[in-house]
A and B are shown apart, each in its own frame.
Chain A
């Protein structure tokens, strides 16, 4: 039996058809075609889920669930209506939003990295306090603001594309971004004042 970290079928990733072709073949049960889809879009699913999920394990679960949904509904894909990336973004973001709505376990003490106590955790602790505080504030943003920030700033989608993913207007994206930035700016300003107040 293959170990989890071993590639099950390394030779099955050579397909280079268009997304629509690969999905059409996947809909007929072609696993090789779907492997090509995973190679192409798996990193994206992991990356986006990693932005919004609370920990890495949740991010991997969400990416997995999203890709399985693509496999299950491959026959429904219509390349004339949307791109596969847009569809996948939408699934991943919605799963992340659902995941964040669920009750979470009690927070761990600050600086405690339950997911990954590796040598890099020490590096993470060296990250500037201001940046760490901002990272926490980003995590605490309402889900849709967080999603807008991820899509526009990290994934470099246009406002129109992000609007399509979130199912809102471009104006609504603007408002989500503005609220998110205002919140983060407040935090930075308060953080900058704190040392002054302490002296």
Chain B
């Protein structure tokens, strides 16, 4: 059976609503609540604080999300995430406005790495071809004729 001391500790943590209490202890708590006036007093006291907390939280929630603010916030959330995660969608100024946490996410660093590597390789190959064309010596007409002449074969002589 649950002791009053344990009951008080739980009430001071989870409040008056037994549904918030650990499930395996709820039954024992109910039994004690039925039999002990002091337990009922503890719950009544916890309930007062619960109500005050709930009122404060409700006021905050109302201030943040009243009316259609919650719906509008969800639409903004969807659009901003679309802007950050969809590489085909242009990022509007409004979609990135006023936040300190936004970073370019796009498709991640892996794809960016491959694209960078491929671009660098293409540029290197192109530069090689251009340099080859620029600095290769142009053979003169005499050289070309000389190439057409049969060259004498040197025989080994004693």
Contacts and interface: CB of A to CB of B under 8 A. Distances in A.
Interface of A: 1-9, 29, 31, 34-35, 38-39, 42-43, 45-47, 50-51, 56-57, 59-65, 67-68, 71-72, 95, 113, 116, 120-121, 123-124, 127-128, 130-132, 134-135, 138, 149, 152-154, 156, 158-160, 170, 173-175, 177-178, 181-182, 184-185, 188
A31 B14 CA distance: 40
A154 to B, nearest CB: 6
A153 B57 contact: yes
Given A181-B15, A184-B53, A188-B49, A65 B64 contact: no
Interface string B7-41: 00110111100001011000000000000000000
| Overall SS of chain A's interface | helix
Interface in B40-86: 49-50, 52-57, 59-67, 69-70, 72-82, 84-86
B108 interface: yes
B98 interface: yes
Contacts of A67: 77, 81
Nearest to B65: A50
Given A56-B64, A124-B59, A131 B52 contact: yes
Interface of B: 9-10, 12-15, 20, 22-23, 49-50, 52-57, 59-67, 69-70, 72-82, 84-86, 89-90, 92, 94-95, 98-102, 105, 107-108
Point out which of B65, B67, B74, B108 has the most chain A C-beta atoms below 10 A from its C-beta. Answer: B74
Nearest to A150: B57
5 contacts: A38-B74, A57-B98, A61-B99, A158-B23, A178-B13
A128 B139 CA distance: 98
A25 B12 CA distance: 44
A46 B65 CA distance: 9
Nearest to B89: A8
A128 B53 CA distance: 13
